[in-house]
A and B are shown apart, each in its own frame.
Chain A
C-alpha cells in the first residue's frame, strides 16, 4: 500500500505509463512555447535590423556613451519620484479609506458628507491629472496665502494624493460592499460599535479581497508621479529631458524608462505572488 504517490516504484504499471505520458505532454508544451518565443524574438530582431533607419535610432536611443553620462542625473531625479510616491501613498491610504468609509455609511444625518464624498470621487476621477497639476500647482501658490514659496514637491504630492485617493476609495468601497452583510450582523451582535465593526471585521476582509486592484493602482500611481515634472520638479522624466537638451541624444529617456520599470517591478512581483498564494489556498480548500 503506497502511503505517498511520489514513489513510482509502488504504483501500478498503468499509473506509471500515465505519468510518463503526462510528462511527455508537458515537455512538448514547454518546447512549443520555447520555440514560438524564439521565433517571435527572431522576427522582431530581423524587422529592427532591416529597417533603413535602425542605425540612426540605435545611436539616438541606445548609445552606451550617453547611457553612462545620463544615468546618475536621472537616478537623482527618480529619488524625487520615490519621495513623492512615499508621502502620496500614506496620504492616499488615509484619505481613500476615509472616503470609502463615508460612502458606505447609511445614516441620514451623514447625507451631506456622503454627497460631498461622491462628488469628490466623481470629480477627481474625471479630471486629467495633468490639468489638476496645473490648477493646484500654479493656482494655490497664486493665492499668496504663504509668505515663502510652496515647494513644488509638496504641491505635486498633494495633487497625486487627491487624484489617487478617489480611485482607491472606489476600490475599497467595492471591497467593503463585497463582504457579506452577515459578517456585519455577527460583529454588531457581539456588541461591537459601527466603527469597531468596520475597523476590526469588515475592512480586514475587504482589503484582503481588493489587494490585487490596489496594487494595480499603486503601480499606476508610480508612473503618474512622473507628471509632476510639469511643475518644475526635477524628477526622472525632467532630468532625462535636461540631459537630452544637452546632447540631442534620447538615451536618457530609455534610462528613465528602465528605472521606472525597476521601481515598479518589486511591487508587480509582490502582487503576482500574493495572487498566486491566494489561488493555491482557495484551490486546496474544502475538497475532501
Chain B
C-alpha cells in the first residue's frame, strides 16, 4: 500500500499535514518509515518500516535488546530518532516543529512497571491527564474516570493508593489511565513481564477486551500464546530490523526466516 507517508518521503519534503484532498479514513493510524536510532556507538534500530491500521493489534516479539522498547519509546517521542519518519494519523510527529506534548496526549502508553504515581489515589492517577492536559473540570473527569474503572472492574479501589493494589490491579489501572483520554493509539510495553504468573491473565483479558472494542494497539510482549491468539500482525524484531512480519499463523507456524524459527523454538521450549 502506497500512502501519503511514502509519497512525502520520496520527494524528501517534510510536511506535517497530509496532501490536500487526502482521505484520512484510509491512512494508517501509525506509519513508521526507515526508523534509525543509536545510543552512541550502539545502533539499536536499523531501518524500521511498519504500518498499523485502525483497529489493528500489532505484537512486537523478539529477544531482549532487539529494539522493541526503543521503538515504542521512539513512537511516543520519548527518544529522538536519528533518521526516518513517524506518522500518526498522517501527521509527521518526528518533525521538530510539532508540539511533542500534544502528540503524546494522542498516544496512550502502559509501561512494564506500571509507573503509577504513588502519591495519588487510583482515581487521581486515572483523571490527572483529563484535568491537567485536557482541562476538563474535576467532576466530569472523575465521572469519566469512575466509568473507566468500572469497565476494568476495579471501581471499588478508586480511593485506594497504588501500593494497596496487586500487580495485576495496578497494571489495569495503568491501562485505564492511558485510555481515559481516548488516544488514537495504545502502546503496551511488556506490560505483563513484571507480573506474577497468576496475575497475567486478568491483564491480558483486558487487552483482549480492548481489541474487541476496536482499540488500535502496538504491544511488545513475551507472551507468545497471547500474541498468537490476539494479534492481527506479529512482527519479529532482530538486531534492530524487522526480520519477519505477518499474520500470527504464518509467523508462528510457517516462519520463513531462520532467525524466527530459532527464536520461537527457544522461547517455546523454555515455556514448556
Contacts and interface: CB of A to CB of B under 8 A. Distances in A.
B82 A287 contact: no
Given A14-B9, A18-B14, A288-B70, A3 B43 contact: yes
Contacts of B73: 287
Most buried by B among A1, A11, A15, A22: A15
A27 interface: no
Contacts, number: 51
B69 A22 contact: no
A17 interface: yes
B85 A14 contact: yes
Nearest to A286: B69
A12 interface: yes
B193 to A, nearest CB: 13
B220 interface: no
Nearest to B38: A5
Contacts of B44: 288
A284 B42 CA distance: 12
Contacts of B14: 14, 17-18
Given A5-B82, A15-B84, A18-B95, A288 B42 contact: yes
B67 interface: yes
Interface in B79-94: 79, 82-85, 94
Contacts of A22: 96
A15 B83 contact: yes
Interface string A6-22: 00000111110110011
A18 B83 CA distance: 9
Given A11-B83, A14-B14, A22-B96, A287 B70 contact: yes
A25 B34 contact: no
Most buried by A among B73, B95, B96, B97: B96
A115 B67 CA distance: 54
B238 to A, nearest CB: 14
Nearest to B70: A288
Contacts of B94: 18
A2 B12 CA distance: 18
A17 B16 CA distance: 14
A5 B12 contact: no
A288 B9 contact: no
Nearest to A15: B83
Nearest to A24: B96
B148 to A, nearest CB: 30
A4 interface: yes
Most buried by B among A1, A2, A25: A2
Interface in A19-56: 21-22, 25
Interface string B27-66: 0000000101011011110110000000000000000010
Contacts of A1: 46-47
Contacts of A287: 39, 69-70, 73, 79
Contacts of B97: 21
Contacts of B47: 1
A286 to B, nearest CB: 9
A193 to B, nearest CB: 31
A154 to B, nearest CB: 48
Contacts of A5: 36, 38, 82-83
B84 A4 contact: no
A9 B23 CA distance: 35
A15 B96 contact: no
A29 B41 CA distance: 29
A194 B181 CA distance: 50
Given A12-B12, A288-B39, 4 more contacts: A2-B83, A12-B34, A14-B14, A287-B39
17 contacts: A1-B47, A2-B36, A3-B43, A4-B43, A11-B82, A11-B83, A12-B9, A12-B83, A14-B83, A15-B84, A18-B95, A21-B96, A21-B97, A284-B39, A288-B65, A288-B69, A288-B70
Interface of A: 1-5, 11-15, 17-18, 21-22, 25, 284, 287-288
